[in-house]
Structure formats: structure tokens, C-alpha cells
Amino acid sequence: MSITIREVAGAAGVSQATAARALSDYGSVSPAARERVLKAAAELGYEPNRIAQALRSGAAKVISFVPGNIDVPFFARAAHILADRLERAGFVLMMASSYENLERERSIVEAMRSRMTSGLVIAPTSSQDSVHLVRLHEAGTPVVSIDRSLADVGIDSISVDNADLSMQATQHLISLGHERIAILYDSDDIDSSAQRVAGSRAALEDATVRGSLLPVRGGMTLESAITAFVSAMQGPDRPTAVLAADSMMTEAALYGIRALGLRIPEDISVVGVDDHSLTPLLDPPLTLMSQPVDAISNGAVDLMLSRLTGSGPISTRHVQLRATLVVRSSTAAPSL
Amino acid sequence: MSITIREVAGAAGVSQATAARALSDYGSVSPAARERVLKAAAELGYEPNRIAQALRSGAAKVISFVPGNIDVPFFARAAHILADRLERAGFVLMMASSYENLERERSIVEAMRSRMTSGLVIAPTSSQDSVHLVRLHEAGTPVVSIDRSLADVGIDSISVDNADLSMQATQHLISLGHERIAILYDSDDIDSSAQRVAGSRAALEDATVRGSLLPVRGGMTLESAITAFVSAMQGPDRPTAVLAADSMMTEAALYGIRALGLRIPEDISVVGVDDHSLTPLLDPPLTLMSQPVDAISNGAVDLMLSRLTGSGPISTRHVQLRATLVVRSSTAAPSL
DNA sequence: CTGTTAGCGCTTTCAT
DNA sequence: ATGAAAGCGCTAACAG
């Protein structure tokens, strides 16, 4: 077993309580006593038992992160930043992906809660069913929603402006002269996807030329998305451009286009989402909407930390950041 | 606050101890009592307090994962599998990247230990300095090393056979007719990298033709690797092929080659490491060594679970798996 | 089969 | 400024 605070107190010749006060820096301790305690702790190699601290004080200095899927570069990068900054603030990051499964999300959140997590950063699978999150939040554990926002339940959120994202992308395509545009998205149930489809539609409606949007629902796996996309492209009046609504859909579109034997951008223009270290090296380099992952992640940490210290705003915050269009070579004017 | 076992016991009309026995399924409880307890627990929505359980029983049903860097696809994928399988076994995955920094690795491991982690899966930053891991291991917490192995300290490991990996890659290049081959690797301090350089060298020495190896040390960042590679390629007798020793080096080589204005594979052949969903779509599709991430991760879980239940082998296990060569279009015979 | 009892290591009143 | 003592929620002897 390891050194306990009792042994430190013994070695320093003070009571357990004084040792605790010195080590956790609260209450009042005489400088002399403090020094002896700190010295004894260092000599014995004392390390506080976080579990005991948590049981007594009600929080474990652990922040939980529940991304939709850690394989997605957006979330991997977010995990990096969260862990980095939270660690510096004295927390450890505990994470588990929901894999976009609500049942699983619930059980993960419960597992985190029962381990006395100090706060939760989550990309909620459903924008509708969030009672488990609300309950946690109302019990006093700060919850910050990232990448997606929740229906009006008083939970802070920070995400990209999804409608704006696809509006920008669609306008880019329209300005190039495209009039038949497909949008490949995963599911109507995921809020951000629905918003992106809506944004595209709005852009098309605002345009001076009369364009049409072909929404293609790709489902939750790469395979299903490829299949859906390929069959949609085989219909009459094939779109001359496609907007892939997230990174998985981007891959699906690329694979689908290859399977169809189409050339980019001669036969079809492609706008993807989410930059990645390899996208500039693709054939051709991919035009895409780049999400401000760093700003979103840092913002989530700031929100979390301010809620944790109680120094934050009273009211719920919903931050929306803008994605930026990165034009490379996968988009061009449609050939006639 | 949430429901405690005391309240469940009260509602069921039994003692706390009986309730605990029924809920955690140990000792003996009469069927009638068990049923009443379970019913009461369900009605009250009782959820055990894992922190209290951990404090009392000494382990928190948490497994820690400390990858070198979660941004690397290899580790992101491993995290996915670990979380998935461990969760099914009743554990939660807690993770934090060391970012290949030993000091940081130590503090993370300590943070995990003080939170009573049940087991540790780690990609050790250093193969030399592992006292913190040995100490944890000797204190009874199973430690499994993944992707890299440790100097002989009795810790289980599961990784790819690094020498074999680069031998296969180099032999592929030799069989194509290359005689001047560069290997771009990060650092001599990382065991796996050193082994890969050695494997390449061995392949060249075994070959019937007299080839030469140009080792290029890229350092720990993408930028430094690109710089090192570009300047090495500007010397006399430029190599006709390059083996990038890991995924970051693969990107570095690709960016470097583009900066130099070289064509692949006409001017230079490239073998990368680590498959990724985008590599088949690169220009040209990348020939690479694919590491068996799934097998490594699953193997790590199996080892961990067997150590946890004490059902594993007595002796230390060092598992090495083979990488497989995936030939695509970035390698060809050198042009004369 | 079941209840009583004693802590796990720590924080936190409450006295002094 | 400090010590004594209680107890967070749970498990695990030990009696009965």
C-alpha cells in the first residue's frame, strides 16, 4: 500500500487534520507546521489518494469526454486539446465514445457519474433525448455540449454554425455555376446534419439562379454511405457537384466517385468537411469546409473551467463559431 | 444526492450487508430476500457508488490507456477497440496521451494510480526509463505495453515485429531494383524506430546486390521531419526510394517530395507505414506496411483481462505480430 | 442465511 | 492554530 496522510502527519509530528490542511492548502496552518508537513510528505513520497478525496469531497477531479467516435479526426483532435488543457488545470480526462448510440451514451454517462466525474464534455448523440444529461447537470455537475447543441435544456454548448457552414459551401458551388447539387449526410436524427441540409437548401433558395438540391441520406457507416451515394448518382440528371456533410461522408463520396469512374472536378465537383493532414495530398487536393476544432475545444474547456469554479455567466451559453472555406482543386465550373 | 445501498436495504427490510450481498451477488442470500432487494433497488433507481466501492475494495474498475499521441490513427483506432471491449467487461477506459514526453507520462501514470486504476495499457515513451511502470506493476496492477516493448522488466507486451516490418518493406524495394534507399524515422531513442532502421539495414546486407541505406532522422514534429528529409534528398546520389518508418514520417515524406517537385514513383518510390482510410485515395495510392492494429489491441485486452482475473500465464508474455505489405502504386522500378 | 461492526483515506466541523 | 472525532458509501470479517 502507499503512504497515507496519517503517516505524513506522524512523521511531521502533527495531527492528521493539520497535515491535510497543509497539503491541500486550506484553513490555517502555522508556517512552521506547514513546512514540516511538506517536508515529511516529500521525503515519504506521499501521493494523495484521489479516490478517498473524491468520496469525502464529492468530486474526483476527473472530466469526462464522450465524443461520437474517437476515430473521427475532429474528435481525436478535440480529445488532444481537452486532455492537454484540463490536465494543466489538475484534472484527468476520462473518455469513452458513444459511437452514436443513445443507449450506450446513457450507460457511459452513468458510469462516469457513479465515478464522481467533476464535469462532462459531450457530443450528444440525440438532440431530443437528453434527460440523462439534464439530470446530471441539475445535480450540479457542469455539462458542456460540443459540436452539437441540445434542445433548450439549459446546457452550455459550443459548436460550429452548421447552417452557415453548408451555406458557404453551397454558395461556393453556385458561384462556380453548379445548379444540380447533391448533399450527402448521415442521418436526419443528428441535429447538426439536419442543419447542414437546411443550410444548403437555404443557399439554393437565396440564389438568383434556380438550382436544385438532392439530399442523399448515407446512414451511419461508410459502406452504407458509399452505396447510397453511388445509387443516387446513377439516377437521371446527375448532380454536377456534391457537398459531403462530414468527414465520413467525405470519404464515402470520394470512394463512391472512384467506383463510378468519375473524374474530379471534370465530371463532378466535391466539397468535403474537416481538414486532415492528408487532404491536401489527395488527388486532386480537396476543397473543404474547415471546422475550428481548436477554438471549439478551447472554448469548451473555458466554459467547463468557469462552471467548475462558479465564475461563469449565470445564464446558459450557446456559442457558435464559423467554419471557413478552403478552396483547393476538387471544385470547378461544371462542364457543359 | 443519489440513492445509497442503505436506503435500498431499508426499503427491502433487510440489513445493509444483505442488500450488498444481493446486489453484488456474493455470499449467500435467500431467494426471497434477494428478490426484495433487487426490486427495491430497481424501484429506487439505485446505482452503486463506484468511488466508495473502489475505496473499500482497492480497485475502481477503470482501465487506463496512455498512448503516445491520440491523434495518430494507430492509437485512435486502438483506443476505439480497447474502450469497446473493456466496456463490455465492465470497465471504463480512462485515457491521456503522453505526447512522447517522459515527464508527462510519469505524471499521468501517477494520476491514474492515485485513482486506483485496475490496469494500465501503455505505449511507453522510453524503453529505458520505466521504473514508474515497474513499480505500478509490482504493486499488483497489471501493465500491458502496446506498440513498443520494454527492456526486460517483466511487463507483458504486444507489438508488431519492427525489424521484420522494415525488412519486408526494404526487400520489396530491392526486388524492384532499388539500390539507394532512404529510411525516414523519428528518433533513435524510440525503440521501435531503432528496430526499423536496423531491419532495413539487415535487409540490404542480406541482398545479393550491394545497396546502400541512407538513414534520415526526422525528429518529433512533422515540420522537422519535412526539413530533414528535403535536405537529405538534395545531397549527391539521391536515393531512388524512401521508406517512411511511421505514419508521421509518411506524411513528412509525401510533403517533402511535393516540395522538391519530385514525381512518385517515377523519380522516387515511397513505402509508408500504417493504413488509413485516405491512403488509397492519395496520388498515387500509397504502398505501405499495414500494422495489425486490431490484433494488437484485442491481444492487449486479452492479456489485460487474463491478468486481471489471474487466469493468465505466470510468465511474462511478449507477443510480436507481423505487419503486411500492401502494394499500391507509389513504388516502381527506379528509372535509369 | 443474516445482522453487527469495523474500517478504506480523506475532509471537515467542532472544540479547544 | 490545532486536535479529536465523525463519516462519505461501500465491503468484508465475524458472530449468531
CB contact under 8 A, A71 and B69: no
**Taking the C1' atom of C7, which residue's CA lies nearest?**
B56
Would you call B113 an interface residue with chain A, using a CB distance cutoff of 8 Å? yes
State the Cα–Cα distance between residues A239 and A253, nearest whole angstrom.
Answer: 13
In a domain, B333, yes or no: no
State the Cα–Cα distance between residues A1 and B285, nearest whole angstrom.
Answer: 54
In a domain, A326, yes or no: no
**Taking the C1' atom of D8, which residue's CA lies nearest?**
A56
In a domain, A331, yes or no: no
| pLDDT means over runs of 10, chain A (336 residues) | 89 93 89 94 94 92 93 92 92 90 94 94 92 93 93 92 98 97 93 94 92 96 97 94 96 97 97 93 95 98 92 87 97 91
Pairing state of beta strands A318-321 and A156-160? parallel
Assess whether A281 and A166 both reside in one domain: yes
Task: Tell me what pLDDT residue B235 has.
Answer: 87
Assess whether B209 and B181 both reside in one domain: yes
In a domain, B330, yes or no: no
**Contact of A267 with A256, CB cutoff 8 Å:** no
Q: Distance between alpha carbon A313 and the CA centroid of its chain, in Å?
A: 22
State the Cα–Cα distance between residues A61 and A53, nearest whole angstrom.
Answer: 9
Distance of residue B209 Cα from the nearest chain A Cα, in angstroms: 34
CB contact under 8 A, B283 and A283: yes
DSSP annotation of A313 reads -
Angle at the Cα of A201 from the Cα atoms of A195 and A204, rounded to 5 degrees: 145
Task: Tell me what pLDDT residue A142 has.
Answer: 95
In a domain, B276, yes or no: yes
Assess whether A191 and A267 both reside in one domain: yes
Q: In the sheet where A180-185 sits, what is the strand order?
A: A212-217, A180-185, A241-244, A269-273, A287-290, A324-326
In a domain, B335, yes or no: no
Assess whether B217 and B272 both reside in one domain: yes
Cell of A31: 508556517
Interface of A with B in 240-259 (CB under 8 A): 251, 254-255, 258
CB atoms inside a 10 Å sphere around CB B11? 18
B30 touches strand C (CB under 7 A): yes
Cell of A138: 441539475
| Residue B159 C-beta-side C-alpha neighbours within 13 Å | 25
Which parts of chain B register pLDDT below 50? none
Assess whether B20 and B65 both reside in one domain: no
**Contact of A93 with B95, CB cutoff 8 Å:** yes
Assess whether A152 and A297 both reside in one domain: yes
Assess whether A135 and A193 both reside in one domain: no
State the Cα–Cα distance between residues A139 and B205, nearest whole angstrom.
Answer: 67
Tell me the CATH number at A243: 3.40.50.2300
Q: Taking chain B, what is the end-to-end CA distance rounded to the nearest angstrom? A: 77
Would you call B3 an interface residue with chain A, using a CB distance cutoff of 8 Å? no
Q: Which residue has the cell 517522459?
A: B102
In a domain, A137, yes or no: yes
Instruction: State which nucleotides on strand D lie below 7 Å from a protein beta carbon.
Output: 1-13
Number of domains in chain A: 3
**Taking the C1' atom of C8, which residue's CA lies nearest?**
B56
> pTM of the predicted model, to two decimals?
0.91
In a domain, B192, yes or no: yes
**Contact of B78 with B296, CB cutoff 8 Å:** yes
Distance of residue A204 Cα from the nearest chain B Cα, in angstroms: 30
Tell me the CATH number at A12: 1.10.260.40
Task: Tell me what pLDDT residue A95 has.
Answer: 87
Assess whether B285 and B191 both reside in one domain: yes
Assess whether A166 and A254 both reside in one domain: yes
Assess whether A284 and A176 both reside in one domain: yes
Would you call A3 an interface residue with chain B, using a CB distance cutoff of 8 Å? no
Assess whether B18 and B86 both reside in one domain: no
Assess whether B20 and B106 both reside in one domain: no
> What's the domain range around A10?
5-48
Task: Tell me what pLDDT residue A1 has.
Answer: 61
Residues 6+ apart with CB under 8 A from A8: A19, A23, A37, A40, A41, A44, A46
